[in-house]
Amino acid sequence: KIFLGMFLVLASPASASPMPTFHLNNGVHMPAVAAGTWQYDSEYAEQAVKSALSAGFSHIDTAHNYCADGSTGQCSTGSNQAGIAKAIKGIDRSSLFITTKVPGCGRQGISFDNCGKDSVAAADKNLEELGTPYVDLLLVHFP
């Protein structure tokens, strides 16, 4: 939280230069730096993402289990992705690069026996929480 706050003091919309990107083989330009949201509750994630976007970020990094009480997989306060959904509502989705994660097989509700099916269900839940029809990068968290 402190790092993001310090960065936002140094970068303002007027002084922010375009974020460098990596050109991927599929033609996508992935921003080199993302605004992370680990250990943020939904309300703080919403404000942090709004601030990051106004400072020139377009890449948001989150996960199914990012919440105020840490990465336990059982967020008592709920995932912060609902706050991110509020922050990006009304923004042209194609201007954003969103990364999220699903648990690895045998972790946090993803069974070994139904890993593929459970992973798809977890990805769908992420999309629902984020209020977006797609993410740009889906990672397996702790494979």
20 Cβ neighbours under 8 A, 6+ residues apart: 31, 32, 33
Helix (H, G, I), strand (E, B) or coil at 103: strand
Phi/psi of residue 139, nearest 5 degrees: -110, 155
Query: How does strand 21-23 pair with strand 29-31?
Result: antiparallel
Between CA 62 and CA 82 the distance in angstroms is 11
Place of tokens 């968290």: 141
* 66 tagged catalytic: yes
Residues recognised as catalytic: 66
